[in-house]
Amino acid sequence: MKILAINAGSSSLKFTLIELPEEKVLASGLFEKIGMAGSFYTIKYQGEKHVFEKELKDHSYAVDALMQGLIDLKIINSLDEIDGVGHRIVHGGQKFTESVILNDEVLEEISAYNELAPLHNPANIMGVKAFMKALPRVIQVGVFDTAFHTTMKEREFLYAVPYEWYQDLGVRKYGFHGTSHRFVNKEICEKLGRDDLKVISCHIGNGASITAIDGGKVVDTSMGFTPLAGLMMGTRSGDIDASLIPYVMNKLNLTCEEVVNDLNKKSGLLGISGVSSDSRDVEDAIKEGNERAILAQDMYAQRVANYIAMYNNLLGGADVITLTAGLGENSIMMREAIINKISSLGVKLDPSKNDFRGEFRCITTDDSKIPVWVVPTNEELMIALDTLNLSKK
């Protein structure tokens, strides 16, 4: 079966065409500047990158261009070869605890959470509607970033604020990156031959979150009501004192929205280093002795280490720690910095095992109390697998 995994943004659309059950990527690509001047798209197929400039007025135009591109490049011979489309949906609130088949009624229910993810959910829904129009007889499936975290108990997901805020406004921790954490947990459980593992899953990249998992169920996660909470990230601040917001508003004559925008887009590695939100640029600056870059990396690693220690306690002792996403999979320097900061847990890095990028392997010594594994994530495959499974029901 051929399944399309889709991640639609407000002005972009990312796709991967996967053959199942072989789990073979047939093609992938990205449509950019949708609804803007200078729109274009890229399709990668058989090791070649094809770039096209085309006016993409909205997501329907992008989907039509994708369908035509798949045929013109002979990736498929007919649209009938597409057996399902799986869509990343950022927010499913408390209602959507697993992936679902999408129809107009379900989309209406999802739109109720638009206010909680205004930059993502409306765009995700636009993408779904565009594919419904282009492929009316093909199953459409929604896979939610928040769904994996719905096993958290009130003790973990509630904030210590007036309880009515939760009852009336839905104020609570939701968590994100759930599809990635679910995939990584599945992979490490299969690798170690156990389904009862206590896992501390670290998705660390430009966006970052850590999740405590016990026997396949989430106990707690670092992101909160929005993806701004938790760890320091590429441009996000992570946890702060909420009183900081009105203080900065008054001192700099900014609106609440402007301060929150700065916390989301001008903070994190970028804000501290003054160099970049890209860890590769920060690492280059570290090698040149840039003190703010050194500080930024140290802060990032320490916050990851702090959450690992907290979740190890919450789980009553973890069986394994996993590192994934851009930094977790590829930054030798950051992995070393993090593991050195959790030595009190009996975790011991093996430098010779850590000298690689993008592979599935253990990087700790044989006598490390908690093994640390690098597990490349694959959210697109997880979306495709969910789509395949629902198509069989």
Per-residue confidence (pLDDT) for residue 88, from 0 to 100:
92
The DSSP letter of residue 231 is S
Per-residue confidence (pLDDT) for residue 225, from 0 to 100:
93
Per-residue confidence (pLDDT) for residue 65, from 0 to 100:
92
Per-residue confidence (pLDDT) for residue 100, from 0 to 100:
95
Q: Chain-centre distance of CA 137, in angstroms?
A: 29
CA 46/CA 27 separation, integer angstroms: 7
Detail the DSSP E strand segments found in the chain.
2-8, 13-19, 24-32, 40-45, 48-53, 82-89, 100-101, 139-144, 198-204, 208-214, 217-221, 320-324, 361-362, 372-374
φ/ψ (deg, to 5) at 278: -85, 120
- Output the CA angle 348-180-280, nearest 5 degrees: 60
CA 49/CA 73 separation, integer angstroms: 11
CATH topology of domain 194-379: Nucleotidyltransferase; domain 5 (3.30.420)
> DSSP of 256-294, one letter per residue?
HHHHHHHHHHS-HHHHHHSS-SSHHHHHHHHHTT-HHHH
Q: Looking at the chain, which residues constitute the CATH 3.30.420.40 domain(s)? A: 2-144, 194-379
What is the set of active-site residues? 145
- 208 three-class SS: strand
User: Which residue has tokens 């009336």?
Assistant: 168
Query: What does pLDDT average to in each consecutive run of 10 residues of the chain (393 residues)?
Result: 90 92 94 89 92 89 92 93 94 92 94 83 89 93 95 97 95 95 97 97 95 98 94 95 97 96 94 93 95 96 98 98 96 96 97 95 97 96 95 82
- 143 three-class SS: strand
Per-residue confidence (pLDDT) for residue 2, from 0 to 100:
95
Does the 2-144 domain belong in CATH 3.30.420.40?
yes
Q: Are the C-beta atoms of 176 and 210 separated by less than 8 Å? A: no
